[in-house]
Amino acid sequence: MLRSWLVAALVTMAFGAVAQTPPPAPAPRPKFESFEVATVKPVEPDANRGRLFKMDGPHRWLATDYRLKNLIALAYDMNPKTISGGPAWMDEQHFNIEAITPGEIRPTRLEQMQMLRTLLVERFELKFHRAEKEFSIYELTIAKGGSKLKPAAHPDDPPYIVGVVYPGKIEVPAKSVTMDDFVAMLQRATLDRPTVNKTGLTGVYDFTLDWAQDETQYGGEVPKAPEDAPLPPLFTAVQEQLGLKLQATRGLVNAMVVDSAVKPQVD
């Protein structure tokens, strides 16, 4: 009896000692205010190479075949039509960027954009001011039959959304995104005018959107889908696949006026 009591006491003490051991402190997350190193090179436009940005591994960030206006639109989640002013080359000269991100953690898209904004100010000496202007816009609303969006499987994961160009179609895989994330992607690259989220949806969602692109999308830089493409056009796909609706209208948008910019020096 005494032996059994002693063993139970020792087990209890052992578990208590383990429970009282504090967990290791997580590594501090970098602030991601700027890239550690970045190279900016002017390049000739190449339709086969295509315009894209991505993390190439956990620390290497790439942007390929971007004009300065498109870099600004990417960094600030804006439609290029809402960016005015600046030198003529801002809409003509193409650039490639290769950069290394700080720390040991892969930055989220928002953190990548913060570092890109710093690069634009430092390397292009970008100066601008904001102004509210009226534009032809699209409003994203819920379609008559209701939303078809499904809640995200991992809502706490960083949002992931990207447009992938295939022969004859565009595919947008989206994980853990809000409707603001979706609208930001549509207006900064896909559509030919600013886009505003009017869905009222506040959740986080997973979805895949597929459509047959036309010449008004991606600045006309992707080939138009063939007439017999098996997928619907974008506006139909948004309604059929997501239960949402893109509607053309006019409205006030927070625009950007570029006061000055300088071509970066090439090493």
pLDDT tens, position by position, 31-86? 899 999 999 999 998 766 778 888 898 899 999 999 999 999 999 999 999 999 99
pLDDT digits (tens, 9 = 90+) for 81-120: 999 999 999 999 999 999 999 988 889 888 999 999 999 9
Listed range (9-23, 72-86, 165-179, 235-249) with the worst mean pLDDT: 9-23
- Residue written as token pair 């699209």: 138
CA–CA separation, 32 and 118 (whole Å): 10
Distance of CA 168 to the CA centre of its chain: 23
- In terms of DSSP bridges, do strands 37-43 and 94-100 run parallel, antiparallel, or are they unpaired? antiparallel
What would the two tokens of residue 196 be? 């505003």
What is the percent of the chain with per-residue pLDDT over 90, rounded to a whole number? 66
- In terms of DSSP bridges, do strands 244-260 and 160-161 run parallel, antiparallel, or are they unpaired? unpaired
Work out the pLDDT band at 5, boundaries 50, 70, 90.
Answer: very low
Q: Which has more pLDDT, 23 or 255?
A: 255
Could you tell me if 137 and 194 are in contact, meaning their C-beta atoms sit under 8 angstroms apart? yes
The reported pLDDT for the residue numbered 26 is 62
CA–CA separation, 24 and 168 (whole Å): 51
The reported pLDDT for the residue numbered 21 is 65
**Cβ-Cβ contacts under 8 Å for 20 (sequence gap 6 or more):** none
Could you tell me if 198 and 139 are in contact, meaning their C-beta atoms sit under 8 angstroms apart? yes
* pTM flag (> 0.85): no
Could you tell me if 214 and 259 are in contact, meaning their C-beta atoms sit under 8 angstroms apart? no
Helix, strand, or coil here: 223? Answer: coil
The reported pLDDT for the residue numbered 27 is 63
Whether residue 28 has pLDDT greater than 90: no
How many CB atoms within 10 Å of residue 7? 10
Work out the pLDDT band at 164, boundaries 50, 70, 90.
Answer: confident
What mean pLDDT is predicted for residues 126-152? 97
What would the two tokens of residue 171 be? 């595919």
The reported pLDDT for the residue numbered 15 is 43
CA angle (180, 186, 187) in 5-degree steps = 90
Q: Which string of DSSP letters, residue by residue, matches 66-114?
A: EEHHHHHHHHHT--GGGEEES-GGGGT-EEEEEEE-SSSSPPPHHHHHH
